[in-house]
Amino acid sequence: MIERLPTRRQWLIASAASGAMLNLSHVAAQTAAAGGDWLAMIEQHHRLIQRSFEELLSRTDAPWDQLDLQLLNLHHVLKAHQIGEEHVIYPAAVRAGLQTAAERLYQQEAEAKVISAQLRLIVLVRDRNAGWTESAQRLQKLVLQHALEEEEQQVYPKLRQQLSPAQNQLLSQLYPLEFSSVVPTRRR
């Protein structure tokens, strides 16, 4: 049986009180104000994702409502990051002749979305025997390998090098707009 989930108001209050709620537009604005280019912003967001996973996995025995909040925060960060990349960076990679790499990155993100949805379902039905920790660790491994190895070490340095300064500047303007367009949501 699925337990009644907290209301949006309860979730917002609990998230704010725990310091868990993320203001992603603030994160994007900080990065842009610091003079970071699009790759610097993405690297900062990768570190935020990494910390979000660490926080989630450090609470594997926490009550379900706390796990639910941590997972929602992780989903929020991942979704904002994915939107920024899928709407700005991957299309730029295709235009720059890195179509095969962009397709591989899209495929990896699709796989991460499937695992993420499975993990969310496990938390919603509150079944600790359903492989919650293993699913979270599998998602963490996939996402971080995708971000830290594929994107940061291989594809994105090539992309930045192939683009003109004006094109890089445009990506630096568009990426944070897409990233910060994602607002947290919660089922009522």
**What are residue 96's phi and psi, to 5 degrees?**
-90, 5
Q: Note the pLDDT of residue 30.
A: 54
This prediction's pTM: 0.79
pLDDT digits (tens, 9 = 90+) for 74-97: 888 999 999 999 999 999 999 999
Q: Note the pLDDT of residue 26.
A: 55
pLDDT digits (tens, 9 = 90+) for 3-59: 444 444 444 444 443 444 454 555 555 555 546 789 999 999 999 999 999 998 888
Mean pLDDT over the full length of the chain: 81
pLDDT digits (tens, 9 = 90+) for 141-153: 999 999 999 999 9
Q: How far apart are CA 63 and CA 61, in angstroms?
A: 7
Q: How far apart are CA 7 and CA 188, in angstroms?
A: 5
**pLDDT of 164 strictly over 50:** yes
Scan for tokens 């979270």, then name that residue.
136
Domain ranges of the chain: 55-188
Structure letter (DSSP) for residue 70? H
**pLDDT of 62 strictly over 70:** yes
Q: Note the pLDDT of residue 28.
A: 52
Contact yes or no for 60/132 (Cβ under 8 A): yes
